[in-house]
Structure 1
Amino acid sequence: MFSDLILWAQSGPADDFWIAVTILIVSCITGFIGAFYFFSRKRMMENTPTSRIRSAAQGFVELEGTGLLLEGPPIIAPLSGMTCVWYRYEVEEYRRSGKNSSWHTIEKGVSDGLFLLQDDTGQCIVDPEGAVVTPAEANVWYGGSKRPTSGPRAGGGGIFLLRRGRYRYTEKRIHPRNSIYAIGLFKTVGGAGSEIDTEADLRELLKEWKKNSDLLLESFDRNRDGQISMEEWQAVREAALKQVMRNHAETLSSPPVHTLSRTMDKRRSFIISAIPQHVLIKRFRNYAVGLIGLFFLAGSMASWLIGLRLRG
């Protein structure tokens, strides 16, 4: 078999050879990029200390606590109908075309609903948009309609091995009271410690007022000439400044609200996980090791085959 591979590399059809080499090169590049991704996330998690919500600094932080629903309408997973704090789902249809058959996605979605993360010092509102989420539970089941007539089998946290029906339903969830590890951008809105930028807020308010020129003229065009003079514009600025100062006073007197969301820094992932931090770190390490192995194996194989071809 090994000698057949050498013979094929030296004298096999050129198209087949270079397709195989291209696949190996793509696998090599994928392995390197993937290994770097998972290793950098592993290092990021290891190097970020866990903070308490009440005393967490503003910026990129790591939190651990319990997931809870906010007051108001609950978050409902669309396929199972279960109450949760986060979900992702997919509906696939089994299609045949001649001798070929495969699953095709016909509907999918992910929760963007806010939920609470609570530890023994306080609560934080989590916005999961843009997060890399590792759920607590995943179900796969089958049915005969685009939407399931029943939820996953009771106690079934995995995959149904017996396939019945042309539709496959996949749903992943984090449930209320699940333990959650999260790392992302921490901000506090309101309270005495709020950051106030009067000039920036004044510019923003004036920009909003300018969008409604009719209302601006009605309120500040004293001589009714259809224009805002320099003197009238000064009155506009003074009114806007008073509004900004009132808004700031309300912000400073309101109770602080902590939030966790994604950061715009691509080097820092926004991660939400329902499995413990040490398990997630180990998983990322294993992924990185496997992918770096793919990098070396595919790269070595591609180099060896090209060398045989050139010498042949």
Structure 2
Amino acid sequence: MDASWLQLGMGAVLALVGGWLWVGRLSRLRHFQDTPTSRIRSAAQGHVELAGVLVERADATPLLAPLTARPCLWWRYRIEEYRRTNNRGSWRVLEHGVSTELLKLFDGTGDCLIDPRGADVLPSRRDVWTGDLRHPRGLPSTGLLAWLGGTRRYRYTEERLHAGEPLYAVGDFRSEGGGRAGLALEAARAEIVREWKGEYAGLLRRFDNNRDGKLDMAEWGRVRLAAELEAEQRHRAASEQPVRHLLARPPQGLPFVLSSHGEEVLVRRYRWKALGGALLCLLGALMVAAAWT
């Protein structure tokens, strides 16, 4: 292949990738700067920004990080192996994983559960070390002992979120209970009827008054009336429950970020990423221009 065509292709790829990074990171940067921090008790439904402290959930099973066995609220890990090919060495990922347990954020006005699945999580606790076992036995010894007795074939990375740490969160905020949702009576009644039809024998025992093995029009009328009363009762019970707030992944590609750092650190990080994307786009454009001359 002619060198100019190769340069042209590489330049076009760099320009496209750089432009995508530039526009995407700049869009998120502006979103963070333009979105005010809400309080949990008064937050509007939809995409919001929250700031508070992580607390333990009373109903949660204690969580241990997989590599260090340290108690935490969230973890992410990666195990890599160092391999040499054609006199060149590189790290190859062998295992990786992330926890999916719900987090709980408290900001002084209330608490909010967070579903971390799909979030861009930026924790402050990050440990990286090496060893000669595929699965480490916790963090290594410190000092001189850390460099003795091993080939350092494997590299381990573990990130964690702990109770008591600050958390900055951006995502889709929804509230349930406390009488917030109105009752769509017809839809609720239809759902209950479908639920009862799933056990048709039980439906006949309750409403087949003439015991002919089927429900006539009058008996179906009583089914619908009973389902309507059941829907109203369920709605009243749900309204008496305390309000439950949940932050989760938003639709339509909006940012979903959980960070142990404040908004200022996050804005600075995305500003540098946007700048890097712009420089990459410029480099690609210069390569394309040089290839055409």
Shorter-chain TM-score bucket reads 0.7 to 0.9
Report which structure shows greater RCO (CA 8 Å, sep ≥6): 2
Going from structure 1 to structure 2, the CA distance change for 1:281 and 1:239 (only over 3 Å counts) comes to same
Going from structure 1 to structure 2, the CA distance change for 1:136 and 1:25 (only over 3 Å counts) comes to same
282-291 vs 18-27, greater mean Cα deviation:
18-27
Partner of 1:253: 240
Q: 1:199 Cα deviation (Å)?
A: 3.1
Going from structure 1 to structure 2, the CA distance change for 1:148 and 1:199 (only over 3 Å counts) comes to farther
Q: 2:160 aligns with which of 169, 173, 183?
A: 173
Partner of 1:5: none
Going from structure 1 to structure 2, the CA distance change for 1:42 and 1:196 (only over 3 Å counts) comes to farther
Partner of 1:128: 116
Quote the Cα distance in structure 2 between the aligned partners of 1:100 and 1:227.
Answer: 77
Partner of 1:237: 224
Indicate whether 1:25 and 2:12 are aligned.
Answer: yes
Going from structure 1 to structure 2, the CA distance change for 1:213 and 1:265 (only over 3 Å counts) comes to farther
Going from structure 1 to structure 2, the CA distance change for 1:229 and 1:109 (only over 3 Å counts) comes to farther
Partner of 1:189: 176
TM-score (norm 1): 0.83
Quote the Cα distance in structure 2 between the aligned partners of 1:225 and 1:91.
Answer: 67
Partner of 2:266: 280
TM-score (norm 2): 0.88
Q: 1:69 Cα deviation (Å)?
A: 1.7
Going from structure 1 to structure 2, the CA distance change for 1:17 and 1:304 (only over 3 Å counts) comes to closer
Indicate whether 1:140 and 2:128 are aligned.
Answer: yes
For structure 1, the 5+ residue unaligned runs are 1-12
1:95-122 Cα distance to aligned partner (Å, 9 max, x none): 3456454332222111111111011111
Quote the Cα distance in structure 2 between the aligned partners of 1:239 and 1:58.
Answer: 33
- Cα RMSD of the aligned pairs, angstroms, is 2.6
Quote the Cα distance in structure 2 between the aligned partners of 1:93 and 1:215.
Answer: 59
Indicate whether 1:67 and 2:57 are aligned.
Answer: no
The question of whether the paired residues in 2 share the 8 Å contact of 1:140 and 1:152 is answered with no
Going from structure 1 to structure 2, the CA distance change for 1:255 and 1:147 (only over 3 Å counts) comes to same
186-195 vs 42-51, greater mean Cα deviation:
186-195
Alignment of 1:1-312 (within 5 A): 13-14=1-2, 16-71=3-58, 72-97=60-85, 99-151=87-139, 164-223=151-210, 226-266=213-253, 268-305=254-291, 307-308=292-293
Going from structure 1 to structure 2, the CA distance change for 1:145 and 1:215 (only over 3 Å counts) comes to farther
The question of whether the paired residues in 2 share the 8 Å contact of 1:136 and 1:175 is answered with no
Q: Which letter does structure 1 place at the counterpart of 2:225?
A: E
1:54 is paired with a residue whose SS is: helix
The question of whether the paired residues in 1 share the 8 Å contact of 2:83 and 2:92 is answered with yes
The question of whether the paired residues in 2 share the 8 Å contact of 1:65 and 1:181 is answered with yes
Going from structure 1 to structure 2, the CA distance change for 1:145 and 1:254 (only over 3 Å counts) comes to same
Q: Which letter does structure 2 place at the counterpart of 1:82?
A: R
Going from structure 1 to structure 2, the CA distance change for 1:94 and 1:227 (only over 3 Å counts) comes to farther
Q: 1:218 Cα deviation (Å)?
A: 4.7
The question of whether the paired residues in 2 share the 8 Å contact of 1:79 and 1:89 is answered with yes
- Percent identity over paired residues: 38
The question of whether the paired residues in 1 share the 8 Å contact of 2:178 and 2:241 is answered with yes
Count of residues in Structure 1 that have an aligned counterpart in Structure 2: 289
Q: Which letter does structure 2 place at the counterpart of 1:124?
A: C
